[in-house]
A and B are shown apart, each in its own frame.
Chain A
């Protein structure tokens, strides 16, 4: 126990400042009013859905929860069910085998809700494109508010996408 406490004390707080929202990432105009965004801005529940990624984006979503980015400090937490979520963080090209599951997850998420598509594949279909097995970009299957390109996007970029989704302001 002594060693554990010593390690915690030695490490200290490593959390870095959060990035600013970037209107360039908006796929559509902000649909939610200021009153709702004010609530989301203080407590946002995120449900991650992997709709067919290579798992590279998942590595960065895990890394987003590292003490360097520490989203909980901003009131952002990942939840276990879409029924608890305000925002869906969706990765991958949407495989045809995940199409129904993604739609159902979106339907199970209570309104008002936001969707952030993560990674080049989520934004455009990426290297996998559209095929007999892939529906391509996330917005081909469910409405998307914000897109975060990158292969995979860094934890900071993902955080920026999330903060953009819950910030007021117009698409640039």
Chain B
């Protein structure tokens, strides 16, 4: 069948979200991407795979979001020279994804592309590729020097501030290289990959059940979104239909995760603007919510609550009532705190016009998720593709165009209130029935897509099964990949002391992009 938006032949991919597959030769990749870009398709992910065990070479994969669904493009590459034309000039977000693919698989874009290493810091040799099937996992890695070529800024009075990987607060590790004049930031260059711990290789050595647990630990703060995406991908690949009650409960879990993270961020955003009152108040409310989670679902962050086929535990009637009660209590307090934030001149002075990403730049660079919605990128998978349980709920999108810290604060407040409404609507009429269906047998070569709007943005899991309940290749993709490069832009012209505030307003995952 043809795709609505592009003149290429696609095959529908079974699963909860609308998705399609297509194979294109390397020579056509750029023209397909150019046409997709012209039709406003968004780049969701780019990754590679080793197909040498399937009598082929390698492949590079590109996931693009169209109004009609997700297109999973596969570009087969020869075994001897697995090169392809890069697409980072068409989709700037692809730059780091291409470099990671080169580090892990030796699949490099054409010579004019940025070919600096990204995830490989010297812990393994430049000539060995961990995601190749013949990579010897037993060999002890070498410790090569990491001579990363930062871009240097020169001129009178310009100097550098190197920060990290170990930061001053309780934050994940990464390196930030600031080039500054006085207090003003001229340029920021990020160097990530410090947390690379071989997650994708790990999936390939696991059973499908273990894989579900690992998916929930790609980025701990988004454990529900990842667990759902994994379950959705596996259910699609095996033709398993989870019960409607399980889908409603997944919706509840996902919105609880969104509220918990937004409450925590709102607290820290107050704190970073010297309003420590906000930190203590919001973290008290977050703790109340986490304790409710633990009581009702057995885990404060809801880890392993979503399993392939359904959910791990039910929410009885009394639990649903308790949840609605707690949500209402937290809502009343958030209303008060919002009015305190709104009227606090000191906090608003720090928030407004700080760390701005205007819609045009956001669109060009592919900003996504909540940060995207603060910069006029009006996308939310729950609204773009309202599959169950969102279908009847008519979720409302929070959307702003100013793209500053204040806009990202506003989006969080609005989403907290909307998520509370969704949870109340879901628990009020939980469909009766089972909470878990048996997962059907997995066939070698079956593919599935999991695509979920987590609190930070769209989480993607692209799954390709091997035989005997094993994974041939799984790529988990965090929206942080797309958004990290925009942080470099957001800080331009701001002062160094505002960096923590701007960084927190994005609150991106290091673990999710370092893999």
* Contact B217 A131, beta carbon cutoff 8 Å: no
Indicate whether A95 sits within 8 Å of B165 (C-beta atoms), given known contacts A63-B290, A133-B123: no
Residues in A neighbouring B195, C-beta threshold 8 A: 50, 52-53, 92, 95, 97-98
* Contact B283 A7, beta carbon cutoff 8 Å: no
Complex CA–CA separation, A101 to B197 (angstroms): 15
Interface centre among A82, A99, A101 (most CB of B within 10 A): A101
Chain B: interface size category:
35 or more
* Contact B202 A128, beta carbon cutoff 8 Å: yes
Complex CA–CA separation, A68 to B289 (angstroms): 13
Contacting residues of chain A (117-164) with chain B, CB-CB under 8 angstroms:
127-129, 131-134, 151-152, 154
| Contact partner, A97, options B193, B218, B221, B340, Cβ 8 Å | B193
Indicate whether A59 sits within 8 Å of B166 (C-beta atoms), given known contacts A96-B123, A131-B202: no
**Counting CB contacts under 8 A, is B127 at the interface?**
no
Interface centre among A11, A54, A55, A61 (most CB of B within 10 A): A54
Residues in A neighbouring B213, C-beta threshold 8 A: 127
**Counting CB contacts under 8 A, is B330 at the interface?**
no
Complex CA–CA separation, A80 to B500 (angstroms): 13
**Counting CB contacts under 8 A, is B194 at the interface?**
yes
* Contact A154 B300, beta carbon cutoff 8 Å: yes
Complex CA–CA separation, A81 to B168 (angstroms): 6
Complex CA–CA separation, A81 to B166 (angstroms): 9
If over half of B's interface residues share one DSSP class (helix, strand or loop), that class is named, otherwise mixed; here it is: loop
Contacting residues of chain B (277-311) with chain A, CB-CB under 8 angstroms:
277, 280-281, 283-284, 286-287, 290, 300-301, 303
Indicate whether A56 sits within 8 Å of B509 (C-beta atoms), given known contacts A63-B286, A67-B280: no
* Contact A98 B173, beta carbon cutoff 8 Å: yes
- Distance from A14 Cβ to chain B, minimum over Cβ atoms (Å): 6
Nearest chain-A residue to B339 (Cβ)?
A: A3
**Counting CB contacts under 8 A, is B389 at the interface?**
no
Residues in B neighbouring A26, C-beta threshold 8 A: none
Indicate whether A132 sits within 8 Å of B221 (C-beta atoms), given known contacts A3-B339, A98-B173: no
* Contact B201 A54, beta carbon cutoff 8 Å: no
* Contact B171 A58, beta carbon cutoff 8 Å: yes
| Contact partner, B170, options A78, A92, A129, A134, Cβ 8 Å | A78
Nearest chain-B residue to A95 (Cβ)?
A: B197
- Distance from A34 Cβ to chain B, minimum over Cβ atoms (Å): 30
Contacting residues of chain A (26-84) with chain B, CB-CB under 8 angstroms:
48-63, 65-68, 78, 80-82
* Contact A56 B198, beta carbon cutoff 8 Å: no
Lowest 7 A-B CB distances belong to which pairs? Answer: A56-B220, A96-B123, A133-B198, A80-B168, A66-B283, A54-B220, A54-B217
B residues with a Cβ closer than 8 A to A are 121, 123-124, 130, 135, 137, 139, 141, 165-166, 168-173, 193-199, 201-202, 210, 213-214, 217-221, 223, 264, 277, 280-281, 283-284, 286-287, 290, 300-301, 303, 336-337, 339-340, 343-344, 509-511, 514
Told that A53-B195, A55-B172, A131-B197 touch, could you supply 5 new A-B pairs with CB distance under 8 A? A53-B220, A58-B170, A58-B172, A65-B170, A97-B123
